[in-house]
Amino acid sequence: MIAPATAIGPARRMVREALAAAGIPQAEADARHLVALACGLDAAGLILAADRPLGAEAAATLDRLLARRLAREPVARLIGAREFWGMRFALSPATLVPRPDTETLVEAVLAARPDRAAVRRIADLGTGTGALLAALLVEYPQAFGVATDRSLEALATARANLDRLGLTGRAALVGCDWGTALAGPFDVVVSNPPYIATGEIEGLDPEVRDHEPAAALDGGPDGLDAYRAIVADLPRLLRPGGLAVLELGAGQAAAVAGIAASAGLAVSGVARDLAGIERALIAIAPEPGPPRPLQA
CA–CA distance, 6 with 231 (Å, rounded to integer): 56
What 62-71 contacts at long range (C-beta under 8 Å, 24+ apart), as own/partner pairs, is 62/2, 62/11, 62/15, 62/34, 62/35, 62/38, 63/1, 63/2, 65/34, 65/37, 65/38, 66/2, 66/15, 66/18, 66/19, 66/34, 69/19, 69/24, 69/30, 69/34, 70/18, 70/19, 70/22, 70/24
Question: Binding site residues for S-adenosyl-L-methionine, as ranges?
Answer: 126-130, 149, 178, 192
Model pLDDT for residues 34-86, shown as the tens digit of each residue: 999 999 999 899 999 999 999 999 999 999 999 999 999 999 999 999 999 99
Question: Binding site residues, as ranges?
Answer: 126-130, 149, 178, 192-195
Confidence tier at 291 by pLDDT (50, 70, 90): low
pLDDT for position 293: 64
Instruction: Tell me if 54 sits within 8 A of 62, measured CB to CB.
Output: yes
CA–CA distance, 121 with 126 (Å, rounded to integer): 16
Average pLDDT over residues 205-225: 97
Share of the chain above pLDDT 70, in %: 97
What 78-84 contacts at long range (C-beta under 8 Å, 24+ apart), as own/partner pairs, is 78/33, 78/34, 78/37, 79/33, 79/37, 82/129, 84/129, 84/131, 84/134, 84/135
The domain locations on the chain are 8-71, 82-284
Identity of residue 288: P
Q: Which fold has domain 82-284?
A: Rossmann fold (3.40.50)
Question: What Rg value do the Cα atoms of the chain yield, rounded?
Answer: 22
Does the N-terminal peptide bond of residue 185 adopt cis geometry, omega within 30 degrees of 0? yes
| Half-sphere exposure (Cβ direction) of 49: Cα atoms closer than 13 Å | 20
Average pLDDT over residues 259-274: 97
pLDDT exceeds 80 at position 289:
no
Question: Binding site residues for substrate, as ranges?
Answer: 192-195
pLDDT exceeds 70 at position 254:
yes
Average pLDDT over residues 274-283: 97
pLDDT for position 249: 96
Model pLDDT for residues 82-133, shown as the tens digit of each residue: 999 999 999 999 999 999 999 999 999 999 999 999 999 999 999 999 999 9
pTM over 0.85: yes
Model pLDDT for residues 128-177, shown as the tens digit of each residue: 999 999 999 999 999 999 999 999 999 999 999 999 999 999 999 999 99
Q: What is the largest CA-CA distance in the chain?
A: 96
pLDDT exceeds 90 at position 287:
no
CA–CA distance, 145 with 143 (Å, rounded to integer): 6
pLDDT for position 288: 75
Share of the chain above pLDDT 90, in %: 96
- Those residues whose C-beta lies under 8 Å from the C-beta of residue 229, and which sit 6 or more positions away, are 177, 178
